[in-house]
Structure 1
Amino acid sequence: MPEGHTLHRHARMHHRRYAGHPVAVSSPQGRFAAQASLLDGRKLARAEAHGKHLFHVYGPDAIVHIHLGLAGIFDERKLPLLAPVGQVRMRVAGRTHWTDLRGPNACELWTSDDVARLQARLGPDPLRKDADPEKAWTRISKSRVSLAALLMDQAVLAGVGNVYRAEILFRHGVAPMTTGRELDQIVFKEMWDDLVELMNYGVKAGQIDTVRPEHMPEVMGREPRKDAHGGEVYVYRRHGLPCYICGTEVAKAELAGRNLFWCPTCQPE
């Protein structure tokens, strides 16, 4: 499932390409046809994201809520338009570009009240200017649940997924099974600031890079990472390989149906 930086990257792209102008909205697949007909020809006010949710805002009465889920993808193209390929749930076409949405978990027409209800359930998003990290700290500091689980809870922190979860814990030397109430507030503040920086870089670069400059391949004389997710990471999907810092074999376990990665030496219990 795409992490928050991917949705913010698409939101910024869609805002830049379509906001402020009328757009053509259709549903070649047909499943969003009735809603698309209400939007077709309207001016897109803005596109924004909160965590793993994206919103195309046409007005308080018409907001397209999109959640990509595991299979959803955006196909971004320049004009001219081409015939739809596959099951296109929604097509948005502007003056210079067009976007096809396929296979989302959700693509639905909402009002501003619907959006407000969702956002009230979500934790602060490190990529949003209105984020309040104290809201996350309040929940974390009182919890007996592991940080590995809390960081993946969208009601605690919105937008953090499996990669950022593993990497932020490693970068701050925190054992994954440390409970929220055991975490020092200063360490939480450092982790939050780090997430803000790393995720903003992810928006700009289009991939997750978490390795510090001194541990990059060209500095350490190692081969670059080869993985479908791209980017240089410390522990994510590196189980069985030596830690870049201490040489200990990176560990892997399953937690709540997701794989968890960490270094037993750099992140001691």
Structure 2
Amino acid sequence: MQYQGVLQKMQTEIGQPIQYYMLFENDFLNVNQILNKEVTISFIKYQCLNCKLDKPIYRQGFCKSCFFDIPSAGDWIMRPELSTAHLDQEDRDLAYEKKVQLQPHIVYLANSSNVKVGVTRKSQVPTRWIDQGAHEAIEIVEVPNRYLAGITEVALKNYVGDKTNWRTMLKNEIADEDLIEWRNKLKQYIPEEALPYFITSNTETHLNFPVSQYPKKVKSLNLSKTPTFTGTLIGIKGQYLIFSDDTVFNVRSNEGLYVSLTINY
């Protein structure tokens, strides 16, 4: 069976285990159903997620010109503390920025390779944690806009990490942590403007990924260097496909690549 289309981050559904879906223009694939099957991935061309043209992808699935032009790739996406819609100030498109920035946001702790702090829209919980490969997570602050979440994250980064070691996450070399204890310990460092939004009465969320065997020595697949790859899929974690030869493929970091996916039954 063969699928063709432009790669976008896999959609997910909470479950035991988490369910993963690849969406193509006229089709979709439940990736869990092809676990333990031989899969061939072949690069065909580029297709920018915005302009749809066959132009090299620069970042986040966009060609260079789109990345520096469209509102959904503004600096405030990666750095929430730069959000200005709450001040009625435009970056690239104020209507878009108000729509995204002026909605409830969560500051959270997640444990994927170590305990880290992060920010996401409330509507993206637990999707954001799944995408990061976190096996446990907890909300610590719920604020009404992205700016407040951003300045809270910046303050807490002085006391807890804000990056995931993707190799450690994929090897599953992770210790369980008491995230409630972490949450309470970090409360004192939350900025005064965000402190009224501190969450005191929730519990950890635990996530179960469909992986039968974790890689021992991670090898990352780069389709620009290896345009065709064949391997047996044995797991999915975060946005990574894990193959039996320890090769891993980050679907999200390859957004904008038009590929064929062949499942050899």
Is TM (by shorter chain) over 0.5? no
Between structure 1 and structure 2, the one with the greater Rg is 1
Instruction: Tell me which protein shows more helix as a share of its residues.
Output: 1
TM-score (norm. length: structure 1)? 0.29
TM-score (norm 2): 0.30
Structure (1 or 2) with the greater strand fraction: 2
